[in-house]
A and B are shown apart, each in its own frame.
Chain A
Amino acid sequence: MKILVTVKEVATVDDAFEIDGTAIDERYLSADLNEWDDYAIEEAVQLSEDGIVDEVVTVTIGDEDTEQTIRQALAKGADRAIRVWDDALEEVDLLDVGAKVAILEAVVAAEEPDLVLTGVQSGDDSFGATGVALAEAVGTQWAAVVNQLDLDNGADVASVHRELEGGLEELTDVDLPAVLSIQTGINEPRYASLRGIRMAQRKELDHQTLADLGVDAGDVAGDLELTSMYEPESESDTTVFEGSADDTAGQLAELLREKGVAQ
């Protein structure tokens, strides 16, 4: 059985930042492995270690700089990686769901995995839709927001728990092949070991262009145009306690006593 895991490098933003046009100024951004994808990688690697999966392949849409993040996934136990990038993608302001799917669909067609794992969402644009849209595009089954996955050797069905709102889980069987979007908390993602990091350097990281995948540049232009970005206005009239930690703690203690919730 082969698993394809979509891995995204996301930008994390400093506490204080400036916006430059429709983007956050690069000075205030750092790159990181998308949190949800970290859980998806771990789930795939565990299935591989349990002997249920033969190969774990990752796919990332990103420029050369994302290779550092891809190596993290390889160091955690993925077998090989595919990175998709070319000049047409450089031009795109906001890679929307349709554009991501156009690329990933071509990768799925080439790799023919039995299972695709994606994170539920990414920490930057938070569309939360790529996995399900991809499943529909490639004509497989899917399940969104999976927080438990049971898969037996040679099974043609995956049993999953989907995390609904309000502390409720849905128990669902999904025919394979399928795309599952993985929720945080499904497992405990490992840190990459030194040995893993060394081994990752020797693993295959295959760069593909849109032309290699047979994707038309027009398909990645997307339907959504990012027209503005701004800091949300605060609607609250928060009272900020000022001073040293002792001062602010004193003011908070007074408030709690006033409210009668603590003595």
Chain B
Amino acid sequence: MSDILTIAEHRQGELRDVSLELLTAGAELAEETGGDLHVAVISGDVDRYAEGLDREGVDAIHTVAYGEEFNHDVYTQAVTQLVDSLEASYVLGANSVNGLDYLPAVATRLDVPLVTDVVALETAGETLTATREMYGGKVETTVDVEGTPVVVSIRGAEWPIAEGEGSAAVEAFDAEIDEDAIGSSVNGFEEVAGGDVDISEADLLVSVGRGIDEEENLELIEELAAALGATMSSSRPIVDAGWLPANRQVGQSGKVVTPEVYIAIGISGAVQHVAGMKGSETIVAINTDPNAPIMDIADYAIHDDLFDVVPALIEQFS
């Protein structure tokens, strides 16, 4: 019997969705192992968060009331102490920016294996089999880890949100936080540069990615957007290169968009990008690579060179 411990995530007073996805993943594992599902929630208004985390299948919720927002030193100390105290076999957290800021430290401190960005999990006896991607989503792999404990970070939106009210015991966990070991302090938060265009409001987005090659070629996409009466957005590399401002970026670290039609031009469809646009009603992909991950979620696709297709499309509307 192996117990599972999932670590909830919250930001600026709100539980993040991945906290409830973690409960689904945790409940599935607990069913396989016959163990209990424990949830930890650390910092902030932990009692209120505990109410939100009390879903079907959760056996116990452990609250650590220390500080307001995420601090990796506090999380690392609290989680390692909880794992020891509960003798948990599998520790599940989010493969989020904050997850990646403390879970590797937890695994190292406990001297146990770490598997990140997992999209599927199963156990058989003492073996955990995790499915994860490599090469930007071009291949999937399975990795086996023998023995416990194991620390796992799961990719967001791969498991459904846990529904159904639970009747978990809520217990305050008295973590001993060594303040001298806290070597970083969060001084605040900042929104990325705004601007006059809100891509999350557009009905038709013409979105451009790395396939555009050169900054000068953006003119072609601007021309298309003008011809279609569309708004222009982009994937991360275009913003990283400074070719478009940050408020045009679609993705996990940019904006989440849900237009009626999203035309992805020269975008391969890295998971971080897909996270920001998969809710679009209709997705059209224009890309030379028929195996690009974007094709998995596209409703319509053109497997051709954007430099041939886009001018032809502009022609159709002029």
Contacts and interface: CB of A to CB of B under 8 A. Distances in A.
A124 B134 contact: yes
Contacts of A173: 184-185, 187
B105 interface: yes
B204 A262 contact: yes
A137 to B, nearest CB: 5
The secondary structure that dominates the A interface is mixed
A17 interface: yes
Given A129-B104, A129-B116, A234-B296, A171 B190 contact: yes
Interface stretch (A78-86, A191-199, A243-251): A243-251
Nearest to B194: A167
Interface stretch (A55-63, A158-166, A200-208, A210-218): A158-166
A165 B100 CA distance: 12
Interface string A233-259: 011101111000110111011011001
B236 A184 contact: yes
A53 to B, nearest CB: 20
A225 interface: yes
A96 interface: yes
Interface residues of A, number: 84
A32 B96 CA distance: 26
B253 A167 contact: yes
A224 interface: yes
B301 interface: yes
Interface string B179-192: 00001111111111
Contacts of A127: 114, 116-117
A232 B134 CA distance: 11
Contact of A253 (B291, B304, B317): B317
A229 B141 contact: yes
A78 B174 CA distance: 47
A228 B141 contact: yes
A175 interface: yes
A171 B138 contact: no
Interface residues of B, number: 99
A17 B134 CA distance: 14
Contacts of B228: 256, 261-262
A227 interface: yes
Given A172-B185, A255-B300, A135 B316 contact: no
Contacts, number: 272
B39 interface: no
A161 B284 CA distance: 34
A145 B101 contact: yes
Interface string B181-218: 00111111111100000000001100000000000000
20 contacts: A13-B135, A17-B138, A97-B104, A98-B114, A123-B135, A128-B95, A129-B114, A131-B104, A136-B108, A141-B183, A161-B190, A166-B254, A169-B189, A170-B188, A175-B183, A178-B183, A232-B133, A232-B139, A238-B300, A261-B203
Interface of A: 11-13, 15-17, 19, 22, 24, 94, 96-98, 101, 120, 123-133, 135-137, 141-145, 161-175, 178, 181, 184-185, 188, 223-232, 234-236, 238-241, 245-246, 248-250, 252-253, 255-256, 259, 261-263
Interface of B: 11, 72, 76, 95-98, 100-105, 107-109, 112-117, 129, 132-146, 183-192, 203-204, 228-230, 236-237, 239-242, 246-247, 249, 252-256, 260-261, 263, 282, 284-285, 288-293, 295-305, 308-313, 315-317
Given A127-B114, A133-B105, A256-B204, 13 more contacts: A17-B138, A19-B139, A22-B141, A98-B108, A127-B116, A129-B107, A133-B107, A168-B190, A224-B145, A245-B308, A252-B300, A253-B316, A262-B204
